[in-house]
């Protein structure tokens, strides 16, 4: 066998097949990944990862682009015979050409040094890092970086993902543009034709980041699914104006729905999405999203406009402005502002319980300075009350404005630690007492800590001043409150080694004494204070009220006991249990309203438990128990089984019995479970035992293969009036590597099933 070394030319034109980057990565302002490429072309988007049940690739994929930039590497050839005649070199029989880590094998090849052309007549194969190509006939110009092939079948690894297809002819022109005739594209394995895109002609312009395809047909299971006469698409990380994937669905209040989004790439830092939403029961809604990026950060403006034929008054609207940004190393800002036309908007046009039950829309603007241990914030906040029947005196107060300042230091002598928290806020509300509140709390602590115990005495002084408007004759317009708080937090740590692995069982008793004198605060309006739910954390808080309008009097001792089981092998906390109670030495006299003083000597018992059980079971629970009435006030229990991401079972129970409108008892069951190798079942049932009615129920089924997935779900949830139920149907067809068609099934399950994460793209 003759061995001939050819000249040091490079066949890098072949590499242009995979030099084009089809992964649609965007700058922070963009929102649309591969959706722009719904009906596009061969090398348009990346294939997705393979499911476990999928057949193995026909060759080993390795990351990379199979492109070598240098042209000085030699070209080596092997053939059964080599003949040079009139300057043309002929390679015959078992021809192999190797250059820059790539290999071409064929039965024959000819090379003309004068023109730099290599010609192959017959079948050939091309292999390189991440690509495998089978073609008939080829003409390659080593000097001008041009090449042309006949009928070809390809399989590629583009950025770690699969792309397969065929073309009647391929050609790369001297200017770097790339042309395919009669081409197909799919992310399925080579012999799997579940879906593919076919186009009469595809033109790719890598330098411009643009591709053009003509006469496109998307086929699924052999059936033409979508046809487009012409389509342009991006082949670079740059964004591209065009239609996105349509969305189909059905809602109880909206009927059948069709959304056809259109994306407009206006400028590098400005884009927009316009989405007509057709609803069979209500008409056409126009949804718009405008996004802008500047030095101050990200901005987005969403607007929905509908002429509703079922609504009195016709026109309905929802508008929302959002901003988040950072300027300088220590400053950040955020804005959220919303406006809706009527109280039934979310119930009629939303598709879930949490949307339909919105009662207030927040409008807030924040500027925050955060450096080291110092934080300052300025906030403007108001609300739109969606239900205008809510009386004005039951609506939330506006903060116009609110200023907060907090700092801490721990480098004082003797280990002293100091903190300061302060606030100045003006409260505004129609037909109510309004005014300015100034609140400041300096605090000093002395933590003394060892490996087996700790003690932390603290002293703070809280000053609060009010300048009120719209008060009556019995209430002064100016009020001040000064309160000193003394607390002593202490605890012990006992541990016992259980085995040779070093597993440890701990016992951690903790005592917390709190002393706050009583001061009559009945003349102070309640702007933003409320009472915390009672739990383990509440045992160690200095105030049982939120906000600054009420400071609870206290002369009490909290007793708690915590035990942990820590695995010595990996340090995991296998078991944690806590129980505690407060012993009161004085009656509690401060309340939000004119309630009678609490004269009980002890609080309810509160407890928490978290455990990792055998065989991937986990349990977490909490309880508040009243020993005087022998009654459970609050309780929650969650039992979960999660051996892997595809197997999830959650069973929860929640009970609230506080003798007010918040009382409820519910069970919540959710499951995600595989059926065979490619099917999964998803379900959730949230049921009210108190009302003997289903709050929310969901049933979904999913089929997932190497290159496509289908998902369907039916969801029924109680309307915000608490009397009727709404039903919504979801379906989604995912052709992996293209945009999903249908509604967002993954987001639905992430909300409904604890522990679920959507990984199908």
User: What pLDDT is recorded for position 719?
Assistant: 67
The reported pLDDT for the residue numbered 72 is 56
* Residue (of 448, 459, 320) closest to 384 by Cα position: 320
Query: ∠ CA 568-569-570 to the nearest 5 degrees?
Result: 100
For 517-629, strand residue ranges (E) read 554-566, 573-584, 605-612, 617-626
Instruction: Give, for 353, the enclosing helix (H) or strand (E).
Output: helix 353-356
Distances (CA, A) of 578 to 175, 500, 514, 611, 653: 72, 26, 20, 12, 19
The closest of 574, 755, 606, 626 to 682, measured between CA atoms, is 755
Distances (CA, A) of 734 to 35, 243, 702, 745: 11, 17, 11, 10
Q: Which two tokens stand for residue 492?
A: 């012990």
pLDDT of residue 723: 64
Going from the C-alpha of 142 to that of each of 95, 114, 115, the distances in angstroms are 18, 11, 8
Kindly tell me the number of DSSP H helices and DSSP E strands found in the chain.
4, 46
CB 441 within 8 A of CB 461: yes
Of 176, 197, 177, the C-alpha closest to 185 is 197
The C-alpha atoms of residue 187 and residue 50 are separated, in whole angstroms, by 10
Task: Identify the CA nearest to 591 among candidates 555, 624, 554, 551.
Answer: 551
In terms of Cα–Cα distance, which of 32, 38, 64 is closest to 220? 38
- Report yes or no: 662 and 669 within 8 Å, Cβ to Cβ: no
CA angle at 206 for the pair 204 and 207, rounded to the nearest 5°: 130
User: What does the pLDDT read at residue 31?
Assistant: 29
The full DSSP string for 276-290 is EEEETTTEEEEEEEE
Q: How many CB atoms sit inside 10 A of residue 148's CB? A: 17
Whole-structure pTM value? 0.76
Backbone angles phi, psi at 260, to 5 degrees: -125, 90
In 3D, which of 411, 412, 410, 440 has the Cα closest to residue 425? 440
Residues in contact with 11: Cβ distance below 8 Å, sequence separation at least 6, in sequence order: 75, 97, 99, 100, 102, 104, 118, 140, 142, 147
Which run of H or of E encompasses 752?
helix 745-752
Q: Which helix (H) or strand (E) holds 155?
A: strand 152-158
> For residue 162, what are the contacts with CB-CB under 8 A and spacing of at least 6?
47, 48, 50, 57, 61, 155, 156, 187, 189
In what helix (H) or strand (E) does residue 494 lie, and over which residues does it extend?
strand 494-497
Within a 10 A sphere around the Cβ of 76, how many other Cβ atoms? 14
Q: Residue 757's pLDDT is what?
A: 83
Quick check: helix, strand or coil at residue 645?
Answer: coil
DSSP3 helix / strand / coil % (the chain, rounded to 5)? 5, 60, 35
Q: According to the model, what pLDDT value does residue 722 have? A: 60
89 within 8 A of 108, measured Cβ to Cβ: no
Report whether 100 contacts 93 (CB < 8 A). Answer: no
Residue 265, H or E segment: strand 262-267
Non-local CB neighbours of 350 within 8 Å, separated by 6+ positions:
356
At 279 the pLDDT is: 93
Picking from 383, 371, 457, the residue whose alpha carbon sits closest to that of residue 414 is 457
Give the Cα separation of 519 and 485 in Å (integer): 12
Q: What integer pLDDT is reported at residue 163 of this predicted model?
A: 74
Q: What pLDDT is stored for residue 87 in this prediction?
A: 77
Q: Which two tokens stand for residue 531?
A: 């009472």
* CA angle (658 as vertex; 655, 662 as ends), nearest 5: 70
Main-chain phi, psi angles of 269, to 5 degrees = -115, 20
Neighbours of 544 (CB within 10 A): 19
Residue 60 pairs in a beta bridge with none
**CA–CA separation, 724 and 739 (whole Å):** 35
The pLDDT, as a whole number, for residue 427 is: 97
Instruction: Give the tokens for residue 699.
Output: 């049933």
Q: What is the CA radius of gyration of the chain?
A: 35
Q: What 3-state DSSP class applies to 108?
A: strand
Q: Where are the beta strands (DSSP E) in 353-394?
A: 360-371, 374-385
pLDDT along the chain (761 residues), means of 10: 31 24 29 27 29 40 37 71 83 82 84 80 81 84 76 74 83 80 85 87 76 85 85 66 79 86 91 94 94 94 93 88 93 95 85 65 96 95 90 92 95 92 96 96 96 96 96 90 97 94 95 97 93 93 95 97 93 94 95 82 96 92 93 95 93 90 88 92 93 90 89 82 74 79 79 81 53
């Amino acid at each position: 066998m003759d061995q001939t070394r050819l000249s040091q030319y490079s066949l890098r034109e072949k590499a242009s097949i995979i030099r084009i980057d089809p992964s649609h990565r965007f700058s922070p302002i963009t929102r649309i990944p591969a959706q722009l490429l719904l009906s596009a072309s061969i090398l348009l988007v990346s294939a997705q990862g393979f499911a476990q049940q999928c057949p193995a690739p026909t060759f080993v994929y390795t990351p990379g682009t199979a492109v070598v930039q240098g042209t000085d590497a030699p070209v080596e050839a092997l053939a059964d015979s080599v003949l040079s005649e009139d300057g043309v070199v002929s390679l015959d029989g078992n021809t192999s050409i190797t250059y820059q880590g790539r290999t071409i094998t064929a039965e024959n090849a000819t090379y003309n040094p004068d023109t730099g052309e290599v010609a192959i007549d017959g079948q050939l194969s091309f292999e390189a890092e991440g690509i495998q190509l089978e073609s008939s006939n080829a003409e390659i110009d080593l000097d001008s970086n041009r090449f042309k092939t006949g009928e070809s079948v390809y399989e590629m690894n583009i950025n770690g993902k699969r792309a397969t297809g065929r073309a009647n002819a391929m050609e790369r022109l001297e200017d770097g543009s790339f042309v395919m005739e009669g081409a197909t594209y799919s992310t399925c394995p080579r012999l799997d034709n579940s879906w593919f895109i076919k186009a009469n002609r595809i033109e790719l312009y890598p330098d411009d980041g643009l591709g053009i395809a003509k006469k496109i047909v998307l086929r699924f299971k052999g059936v033409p699914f979508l046809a487009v006469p012409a389509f342009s698409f991006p082949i670079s990380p740059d964004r591209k104006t065009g239609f996105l994937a349509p969305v189909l669905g059905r809602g109880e209040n909206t009927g059948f729905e069709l959304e056809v989004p259109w994306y407009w790439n206006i400028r590098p830092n400005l884009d927009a999405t316009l989405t007509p939403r057709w609803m069979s029961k209500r008409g056409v809604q126009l949804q718009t999203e405008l996004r802008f990026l500047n030095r101050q950060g990200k901005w987005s403006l969403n607007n929905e406009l509908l002429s509703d034929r079922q609504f009195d008054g016709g026109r309905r609207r929802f508008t929302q402005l959002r901003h988040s940004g950072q300027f300088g190393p220590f400053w950040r800002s955020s804005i959220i502002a919303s406006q809706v036309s009527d109280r039934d908007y979310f119930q009629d046009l939303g598709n879930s319980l949490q949307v339909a039950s919105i009662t207030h829309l927040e409008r807030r603007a924040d500027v925050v300075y955060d450096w080291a241990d110092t934080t300052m914030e300025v906030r403007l906040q108001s609300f739109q009350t969606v239900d205008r029947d809510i009386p004005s005196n039951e609506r939330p107060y506006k903060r116009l404005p609110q200023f907060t300042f907090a700092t801490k230091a721990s480098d004082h002598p003797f280990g002293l630690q100091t903190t300061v928290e302060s606030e100045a806020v003006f409260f505004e509300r129609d037909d109510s007492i309004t005014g300015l509140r100034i609140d400041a709390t300096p605090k000093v602590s002395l933590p003394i800590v060892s490996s087996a115990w700790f003690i932390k005495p603290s002293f703070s002084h809280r000053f609060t001043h009010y300048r009120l408007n719209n008060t009556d004759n019995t209430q002064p317009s100016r009020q001040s409150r000064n309160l000193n708080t003394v607390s002593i937090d202490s605890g012990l740590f006992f541990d016992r080694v259980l085995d040779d692995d070093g597993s440890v069982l701990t016992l951690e008793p903790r005592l917390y004494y709190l002393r706050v004198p009583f001061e009559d605060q009945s003349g102070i309006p309640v702007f933003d204070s409320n009472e915390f739910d009672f739990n383990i954390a509440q045992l160690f808080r200095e105030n049982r009220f939120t906000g600054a309008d009420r400071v609870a009097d206290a002369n009490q001792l909290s007793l708690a006991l915590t035990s942990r089981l820590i695995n010595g092998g990996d340090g995991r906390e296998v078991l944690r249990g806590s129980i505690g109670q407060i012993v009161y030495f004085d009656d509690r006299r401060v309340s939000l309203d004119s309630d009678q003083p609490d004269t009980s000597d002890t609080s309810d018992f509160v407890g928490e438990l978290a455990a990792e059980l055998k065989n991937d079971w986990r349990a977490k629970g909490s309880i508040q128990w009243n020993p005087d009435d022998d009654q459970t006030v609050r309780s929650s229990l969650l039992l979960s089984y999660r051996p892997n991401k595809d197997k999830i079972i959650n069973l929860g129970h929640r009970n609230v019995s506080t003798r007010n409108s918040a009382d409820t008892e519910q069970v919540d069951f959710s499951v995600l479970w595989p059926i065979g190798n490619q099917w999964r079942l998803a379900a959730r049932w949230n049921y009210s035992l108190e009302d003997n009615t289903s709050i929310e129920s969901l049933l979904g089924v999913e089929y997932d293969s190497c290159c496509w997935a289908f998902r369907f779900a039916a969801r029924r949830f109680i309307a915000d009036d608490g009397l009727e139920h709404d039903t919504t149907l979801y379906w989604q067809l995912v052709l992996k590597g293209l945009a999903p068609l249908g509604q967002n099934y993954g987001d639905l399950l992430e909300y409904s099933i604890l522990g679920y994460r959507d990984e199908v793209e």
